[in-house]
Amino acid sequence: MTGSGPLYTELAELRRLVAERTADLQRVKAEYDNYRKRVRRDRLAVREIAVANVLRALLPVLDAVDRACAHEPLTPGLEDIADSLKEQLGSLGVTSFGEVGDPFDPACHDAVAHHASPDRDRLVCSAVLRPGYRLGDHLLRPAHVEVAGPAPPARSAHGGARDVRPSTAGGAPPLPIARN
């Protein structure tokens, strides 16, 4: 066989077609693998959102049980309900946060009151009105706290911070007032 003639060209054409079909098959397989991964990832995300929504709906129940435990005589039944609810939520990965003395973090705390305390150099939680909850790294509910710390910046008569001009009509940022 010398590499010429109709038989050789037909063989070359068949090899080209096999290579083309193999590349097509590999591309389709890769697309399908990516599709399967994306569907699995989407299902996990939907599951996490559903679990978070159910847990978020149960938080008022947990608050009511905690209030009952704090204000009522602790009966064995009430104690069992409180322990069981906390244990089950804990087994699902729910953790509470918000303790007196914690540094204030606006990402996970809602400050409902601010008490000026000149002896503090930063804001800290001085009272926890309602604990916050997380599911892993996901914030289910921020903690409602009272904070103590340095006094907020003084406000001028027009409602803005002192030494700042009110913003202009175009939404431009306020400009500092020059003092001579």
Q: What is the 3-state secondary structure (H, E, C) of 136-161?
A: CCEEEECEEEEEEECCCCCECCCCCE
**Where do runs of H (alpha helix) occur along 72-107?**
76-91
Q: What is the pLDDT of residue 7?
A: 86
Task: Compute the distance between CA of residue 62 and CA of residue 121 in angstroms, rounded to an integer.
Answer: 34
* pTM for the structure as a whole: 0.64
Task: Compute the distance between CA of residue 21 and CA of residue 134 in angstroms, rounded to an integer.
Answer: 51
Q: What is the pLDDT of residue 172?
A: 45
Strand order in 124-130's β-sheet? Answer: 109-116, 143-149, 124-130
Task: Compute the distance between CA of residue 116 and CA of residue 45 in angstroms, rounded to an integer.
Answer: 43
In a structure prediction context, what are the per-residue pLDDT tens digits for the chain, which is 180 residues long?
455 678 889 999 999 999 999 999 999 999 999 999 999 999 999 998 999 999 999 999 999 999 999 888 888 998 999 999 999 999 989 999 999 999 999 999 999 999 988 888 899 999 999 999 999 889 999 999 999 998 777 765 555 544 444 444 444 444 444 444
